[in-house]
Amino acid sequence: MSAIKDLIKEIDNLKPIPAVVNQIMDAVEDSKSSMTDIAEIILYDPVITANILKMCNSAYYALPRRVDSVHDAVTMMGLNQVVDMVLMKSGASNLIKGQEGYGLHEGELWKHAVSSALIARDLAEKKGSEHKQMIFTAALLKDIGKVILDRFVGDSFTKIDDLVKKKGFSFKEAEKKVIGIDHAELGGLVAEMWDFSPKMISMIKNHHLNDEAARDDLETQILYVADNVCMMMGIGGGADGLAYRFHRDVLKRLGISPLDLQEIIASFGSEMKRVEELLKVI
C-alpha cells in the first residue's frame, strides 16, 4: 500500500495539462460553441498561442502564406487540426522521455501516443462517434500511467515477466499483482487529478477493456482497437508488447473484419513517414 501512495505522490512530478486545455475540450464537445469561441479560449494562453503559430508556420504544414493569429490558423487549417496541435504539444513533455522499465527508448511512447490518437480519430469518424476530439485526447494520454509506473516496473520486471511467461498473466494483470496497481488504473488517477471529465477518466482507465462494461462503450472500443493496431505494427510496444488480452468480440461489435483490420494497418503504415515528420515539429 505504501508503494501505491508513493506512486500517487509522483503524479505531482508530471507536467500538468494546462487548465485551458480542459476549457478547449469542453467547448469542442459543446455543439453550441463556434470556431470563434474556441479560438478566443486559445488566445488567453500566450504559450499555447505561440506554439500554434510556430507549428503552423513550420515547413511540415507548408501553408501558402504566413499565419499570424489563432483565427488565421483556424481558418486555414480547420478547427480540429488546431485543437490537435494544442493537445499534442500539451502531452509531449511527459511522454517524450524514455521509459527503461518498459523497454522504451526516448520518443517511442510519444510516437505510440500520436499514432494511436490519429488512428482512433480516423476510426471515430468512420463509426460516426460524436466525440472524435475526446477519443483523440484519450488515445494521446492513455499511457500516461506508464511514465510514473516505469521505475517500479523496472525494479520488479523479473517478477512481472515470470507471471506473464509462466502463469499466463497479461502484462497489466502482472503489474497489478506485483505492484498493486496497473498503468491503466494509474492513468485514470492522473486524469482524475487533472480534472478530466468522468468519460475521459473511464476511457483512459479502461483502454485495455479490463472492465466488462467498457466493452459496450463505442469510444472505449475505438480507443482499444487503435492501441492494438499500434502494437501490431510494433509502434511503441516495448517490453510489454502484445502481452495483453485481445478481445476479438470488440472487432465484431464495431463491425471491423480481419480484412478491415489489415487495411487499417496498411493505410497507416504508408502514413508513418508523415507522422515522424509531424513529431519533429511538435
- What would the pLDDT profile of 161-219 be if each residue is shown by its tens digit? 999 999 999 999 999 999 999 999 999 999 999 999 999 999 999 999 988 888 899 99
Residue 3, pLDDT above cutoff 80 = no
- What would the pLDDT profile of 123-170 be if each residue is shown by its tens digit? 999 999 989 989 999 999 999 999 999 999 999 999 999 999 999 999
- What would the pLDDT profile of 267-280 be if each residue is shown by its tens digit? 998 888 888 888 88
- Average per-residue pLDDT for the chain: 90
What contacts 142, CB < 8 A, 6 or more positions away? 113, 116, 184, 187, 203, 204, 207, 223, 227
**Dist CA 282 CA 264 (whole Å):** 24
pLDDT at residue 2, rounded to an integer: 57
Helix, strand, coil % in the chain, rounded to nearest 5: 70, 0, 30
Residue 101, pLDDT above cutoff 70 = yes
Cell of 246: 485481445
pLDDT band at 16 (very low <50, low <70, confident <90, very high): confident
| CATH code, 123 | 1.10.3210.10
Q: Are 171 and 243 in contact (CB under 8 A)?
A: yes
Residue 241, pLDDT above cutoff 80 = no
Residue 1, pLDDT above cutoff 60 = no
**Dist CA 147 CA 11 (whole Å):** 9
What's the domain range around 63? 2-281
pTM assigned to the model: 0.90
**Dist CA 240 CA 103 (whole Å):** 8
Count of the separate structural domains present in the chain: 1
Read off the pLDDT of each residue in 4-8 and give the average, rounded to a whole number.
79
Identify the residue whose cell numbers are 498561442.
49
Phi/psi for 99 (5° steps) reads -120, 90
pLDDT at residue 140, rounded to an integer: 95
- What would the pLDDT profile of 25-77 be if each residue is shown by its tens digit? 888 888 888 888 888 898 888 888 998 999 999 888 888 999 999 989 988 88
Read off the pLDDT of each residue in 253-269 and give the average, rounded to a whole number.
91
What's the DSSP call for residue 66?
-
Residue 114, pLDDT above cutoff 60 = yes
